[in-house]
A and B are shown apart, each in its own frame.
Chain A
Amino acid sequence: MRNRLSSIVGERWVKSRPAALAPYDADGLPGYHATPSLAVFPGTREELIAVVRELARTGTPFVPRGAGTGLSGGALADGVVLIGLNRLTRILDVDPVNRLARVEPGVVNARLSRETVKFGLHYAPDPSSQTVCTIGGNVAENAGGPHCLKYGVTLNHVLECEVLLPDGSLVRLGDAHGESEGYDLLGTFVGSEGCFGVATQVTVRLVPLPDAVHTLLADFSQVTDAARAVSRIIASGIVPAALEMMDNATIRAVEASIYAAGYPVDAAAILLCEVDGPDAGLDEDVAIIREACMANGARAVRVATEPADRMRLWQGRKKAFGAMGRIAPSLVVQDAVVPRTRLPEVLERIEAIGIRHGVKVCNVFHAGDGNLHPNIPYDARDAQQDARVHAAMKDIMQTCIDAGGTITGEHGVGLDKIGYMDRLFDAPTLDAMCRLRSVFDPDRRANPGKVVPVHSCREWAGVVR
């Protein structure tokens, strides 16, 4: 296989020695390791097509991978071929009139916005890893980010994908110029975590830069007060561009790091709330949000309107995960969603779970969406710690499910959460997901072992009706 793939991409771009494969034995999820049988890095769309066709010809399973920043183990390749897409970095077209861009899957998220700012446009979905994560990875995971509250997740910004199916055939899903008719196969492809094939080109929607942006920082002496303020803001009819919460443990980690943003270290929680759009009316929105915070126990609300001040506030939020590196060498970043009204209660339960298992839980999350990120810094090399962390995570996930929520809002199921799928969905629904997958990948060769447990699939489990 190495020779055949080398003949397509060149020997340099096929890795098979253990040392060369070591960088690819993990993604952003600590505690999980899996080594690919080999890794191949096509440099062009044509090479990518030839690689997948060669794998199809030989019936070889594979895992597509972007920057490897995923947090659910979705890009782990356990003894199968890993296809690295990070050489496919061309922005093919920017069409400012139609407000769209066509890109290769390895284009880094933040670069796309940087390169379209000159047209007064940007790519709205902004995961915290946006300085390194790729558009292809974002598509695979249906990535979110702080500004998805107003602007929507990746799916709302992907118009069309050219998709290389696992059998090597090419299909075009969606329509660059509007909602396509018929089954929404683009909608099913985005977020399919590499199990339906590989995006070779992605056409994304660009949105105009807002005329003005105001960012508020509200600090609270009670976490539950901050959570209630979130509901009050959303109920006011204002749709903030972002509405984020950080608890005291996270605030302290950030303020002790090089990403210090000037957050009040004695606050139990802070809310970062951003409103944007036409200049007219923004001050009024800010006043309503300030009032909502103060009425729910905020100690103070300050407003940043200058870009440098706003950037500093956001730097602290976006680098919070990195800042937690000061606390411990490993970090589990969990991702669950609960109804907004259940936030106060769920946050209290999470705190109790942390105490019960003797782990430190830091919360930094998309409060406006109810999208929690309970993070646990720990040392993955310590087996006892590792066991406690996983037990705590299991309890947290169950708490979120019991609260009417879900196990992932933006990071995907991957390997990490596959065990929760049959707690969330009944057997017929899981089987229906398998049936959908079989349309794209009947041999189950693309990203095997992810998202839906095989035992749930009647076809693959040998219980064909």
Chain B
Amino acid sequence: MSATTHAVTPVAHIVRDHLESQRSFRPLGSGTWRHGGGPFADATPVSVRAHHANVVEYEPGDLVITVGAGMTWRELTQVTAAHGQMFALAPYGSEESTLGAMASTAATAPLALGDLLMRDLVLGLEVVDGTGEVLRAGGRVVKNVAGFDLVRLFTGAHGTLGIITQLSLRLHARPPHDQLMRVTLEQPVVNALATCLPALIAQRAPLPMLLCHTPGQPLTLWARVSGNAARVQALRAHLAALAGVSPSDVEDLGAIDANVDANVDANSGASGSANDPSPLDGLRHTPVDAAVMRLRTPRSDALPFVQAVHRTFTNASWQYHVERGGLRLVVPRDHASHESLDTQLDLLYHHAAAQGALHRISMAWDQGRAVPAPRSALDQQVKARFDPAGLCSPWRVAPELLHDAVVQTP
């Protein structure tokens, strides 16, 4: 983001108007995250999509694209697919999510290629901060240590420091094969966990995997298997061995982005039918009427942790990301009143600690409600430096957002 570009963006004008009249504001993308993060304070939505939804610069040979933050993941995928390239994350939630929202929330994703996170893929940002300044941080190259890292600061700040209006994103060339595979573990869930999870934790192959549970159904193991044909064949056999089945029992669900290919005419850029969701869509789906939590624990505690979650939240579905040690828990609304969630969380800590190995659970809420807890003094100072008037996305500001719970092993 060169020093030569000084244009004041439309969003900057809107933000400056709000600052002048001391009115709170918040970024609005596609509106797919309206339930995120608990109750709203009174803040005017500022539409990023209305002003910044275009491709600014794309040189496929560089595997970097610069887009307006209001562009959706689906739109981006249409552009990159035409060049055999991809943005390596397909986040939970809607394909209509804007990239600005994905960056603002540091959106995680199922089966990210090479264990990449949103923070690894954002190379540069244009942001209107809470003082109304237009900042152009980072750049359009894949390595960059020039100056203090404002890109990392704004990515995952949930819009509390400013509104992202433009992003430069790292792309990847599609590997020759990039398949979604699934194994059904036919044993009862508790037995399957005890058998399979330690092996999954110990495995060393480059195999992004999710262990998934839906109430009333057997446990399933999903994997993203990428590379050339020989490697895909070998990884498939490895996956089967981990699950204790034969390679023929591993379902090949097709190219991981098959739904995009099926629904998008790359030449016209038009979307086809979206009524035929792919298996990947199933993984990414976030029900509206649910509380969604992300919990983490050390890999070494995976078994008692996942067992405790399963035992406690009997009506919830969950996905355990093997490499990151993160678990995404989706609790249906009728089981997700604040009181019942508190009770279940207390039980989770109790069950986990009772099984001996759990040292720590940390969690964040994607949606459902806010959880009171203090944030660090440094966080508060960052907020004060970039949004001194406190007008920027006030509903996401501490103390509502985060909750860290520490459970000591008895």
Task: Identify the closest chain B residue to A151 (Cβ).
Answer: B114
Q: Do the beta carbons of A98 and B298 come within 8 Å of each other?
A: yes
The smallest C-beta distance from B95 to any residue of chain A, in angstroms, reads: 23
Interface residues of A in 104-159 (CB under 8 A from B): 120, 141-142, 144, 148, 152-153, 155-156
Taking CB as reference atom, which chain B residue is nearest A281? B231
What residues of A have a CB within 8 angstroms of the CB of B288 in the complex? none
Per the bound structure, the CA–CA distance linking A323 and B253 in Å amounts to 53
B154 CB, nearest partner CB in chain A, Å: 9
Q: In the bound complex, do residue B144 and residue A409 qualify as a contact, i.e. CB atoms below 8 Å apart?
A: yes
Measured between alpha carbons, how far is A142 from B135 in the docked complex, in Å?
Answer: 22
How close is B37's CB to chain A, nearest CB, in angstroms? Answer: 11
Tell me, yes or no, whether A399 is within 8 Å of chain B by CB: no
* A339 and B150 contact, CB distance less than 8 A: no
B2 on the A face (CB < 8 A) = yes
Which residues of A are found within 8 Å of B265, using beta-carbon distances? none
Are A284 and B153 in touch, CB under 8 angstroms?
no
Q: Which of B106, B108, B136, B375 contacts A429 (CB 8 A)?
A: B136
CA distance A369 to B5 in the complex (A): 25
CB pair A369–B379 under 8 Å, yes or no, is no
With a cutoff of 8 Å between Cβ atoms, the chain A residues found around residue B149 in the complex are 187-188, 190-192
Task: Give the docked Cα–Cα distance between A284 and B147 (Å).
Answer: 40
> In the complex the two chains form, is A337's CB within 8 Å of B144's CB?
yes
Tell me, in angstroms, the Cα distance from A95 to B62 when the chains sit together.
38
Q: Verify B379–A284 contact, CB threshold 8 A.
A: no
Min CB distance, B60 to chain A, in Å? Answer: 8
Q: Is the CB of A142 within 8 A of B59?
A: no
B176 at the interface (CB under 8 A from A): yes
A19 at the interface (CB under 8 A from B): no
Closest A residue by C-beta to B385: A435
| In the complex, A238 has a CB within 8 A of chain B | yes
Q: Which residues of B contact A237 (CB under 8 A)?
A: 84, 172-176
Tell me the bound Cα distance from A465 to B130 in angstroms: 14
B63 contacts A182, C-beta separation under 8 Å: no
Q: Which of A391-408 contact B (CB under 8 A)?
A: 401, 404-408
Please determine whether B1 and A425 come into contact, CB atoms closer than 8 angstroms.
yes
CB of A103 within 8 Å of the partner chain: no
Which of B63, B147, B175, B375 is within 8 Å of A452, CB to CB? B147
Known A144-B143, A280-B234, A435-B386: A236·B117 in contact at CB below 8 Å: no
Is the Cβ of B147 less than 8 Å from the Cβ of A421? yes
Indicate if the CB atoms of B145 and A341 lie closer than 8 Å. Answer: no
Q: Is B227 an interface residue (CB 8 A)?
A: yes
Q: Does chain B have a CB within 8 A of A1? A: no
User: A430: which B residues are within 8 A, CB to CB?
Assistant: 147
Inter-chain contacts of B228 with A (CB < 8 A): 281, 284-285, 288
Q: Verify if B284 is at the interface (C-beta below 8 Å from A).
A: no
With A237-B176, A421-B147, A436-B148 as contacts: A182 and B141 at CB distance below 8 Å = no
Within residues 163 to 192 of chain A, which ones have a CB less than 8 A from any CB in chain B? 171, 175-185, 187-188, 190-192
Docked-complex contact A428 and B106, CB < 8 angstroms: no
Using known A-B contacts A178-B324, A237-B175, A428-B134, determine if residue A185 contacts B141 with beta carbons closer than 8 Å: no
Contacts of A30 in B (CB 8 A): none
Q: Are B360 and A182 in contact (CB under 8 A)?
A: no
Residue of A nearest to B124 (CB): A406
- Say how far A371's CB is from chain B's closest CB, in angstroms: 5
B88-106 CB contacts (< 8 Å) to partner A: 106
Across the interface, which residues of A come within 8 angstroms of B381, CB to CB? 439
Q: Are the C-beta atoms of B206 and A406 separated by less than 8 Å?
A: no
Query: Beyond A208-B204, A432-B135, is A425–B147 a contact (Cβ under 8 Å)?
Result: yes
* 8 Å CB interface, B219-257 against A: 227-235, 238
| C-alpha spacing A223/B191, complex, angstroms | 59
Q: B120 at the A/B interface (Cβ < 8 Å)?
A: yes
Question: In the complex, what residues of B have CB within 8 A of residue A405's CB?
Answer: 139, 141
For chain A residues 313-336, which have a beta carbon within 8 Å of chain B? Answer: none
Across the interface, which residues of B come within 8 angstroms of A120, CB to CB?
A: 204
Q: State which residues 407-465 of A face B: CB under 8 Å.
A: 407-413, 417, 421-426, 428-433, 435-440, 451-452, 465
Of chain A, the residue at the smallest CB distance from B375 is A182
For residue B201, which residues in chain A have a CB less than 8 angstroms away from its CB?
97
Q: From B139, B174, B230, give the contact of A280 (CB < 8 A).
A: B230
Q: Which residues of B contact A236 (CB under 8 A)?
A: 173
- Whether, in the assembled complex, A304 has its beta carbon less than 8 Å from a beta carbon of chain B, the answer is no
Q: Are B6 and A426 in contact (CB under 8 A)?
A: yes
Contact with A412, one of B145, B157, B233, B379 (Cβ below 8 angstroms): B145
Question: Are A156 and B173 touching (Cβ within 8 A)?
Answer: no
From B135, B235, B382, B402, A185 is in contact (CB under 8 Å) with B382
In Å, the complex CA distance between A296 and B357 comes to 56
Contact residue among B5, B61, B64, B175 (Cβ-Cβ distance under 8 Å from A238): B175
Interface centre among A95, A144, A433, A440 (most CB of B within 10 A): A433
Contact with B along A377-401 (1 / 0, CB 8 A): 0000000000000000000000001
Bound-complex Cα distance A97 to B135 (A): 42
Q: How far is the CA of A281 from the CA of B235 in the complex (A)?
A: 10
A337–B168 Cα distance when bound, in Å, is 15
- Which residues from A are CB-within-8-Å of B404? 181
Give B404's nearest chain A residue, CB to CB.
A181
Bound Cα distance from A426 to B148, whole angstroms: 14
A404 close to B176 (CB less than 8 A): no
Instruction: Report A-chain residues with C-beta under 8 Å of the C-beta of B235.
Output: 278, 280
Q: Which of B66-80 contact A (CB under 8 A)?
A: none
B326 within 8 A of A: yes
Residue contact B119 to A184, C-beta cutoff 8 Å: yes
CB atoms of A178 and B325 under 8 A apart = yes
B289 to chain A, nearest CB (A): 24
Q: Please, how many angstroms separate the alpha-carbon atoms of A156 and B1 in the complex?
A: 22
Known: A98-B298, A366-B143. A438 touches B385 (CB 8 A): yes
> Which residue in A97, A424, A428 is a CB contact (below 8 Å) of B299?
A97
Q: Are B153 and A436 in contact (CB under 8 A)?
A: yes
Q: In the complex the two chains form, what is the Cα distance from A95 to B381 in whole Å?
A: 34
Contacts of A371 in B (CB 8 A): 143
Q: Which of A417, A423, A436 interacts with B150 by CB under 8 Å?
A: A436
- 27 A-B pairs within 8 Å (CB atoms) are namely A98-B299, A99-B299, A155-B152, A177-B325, A177-B362, A178-B296, A181-B404, A183-B153, A185-B153, A187-B153, A188-B149, A191-B145, A191-B148, A237-B175, A278-B231, A281-B228, A284-B229, A288-B228, A339-B140, A404-B140, A409-B141, A426-B5, A428-B133, A428-B135, A429-B137, A439-B381, A439-B385
Given contacts A182-B379, A192-B148, A370-B143, 16 further A-B contacts (CB under 8 A): A97-B300, A98-B298, A98-B300, A99-B299, A178-B296, A184-B156, A188-B149, A277-B206, A278-B235, A283-B230, A409-B143, A411-B145, A429-B137, A432-B133, A433-B148, A436-B382
5 closest A-B pairs by CB: A281-B231, A187-B152, A280-B234, A409-B143, A341-B61
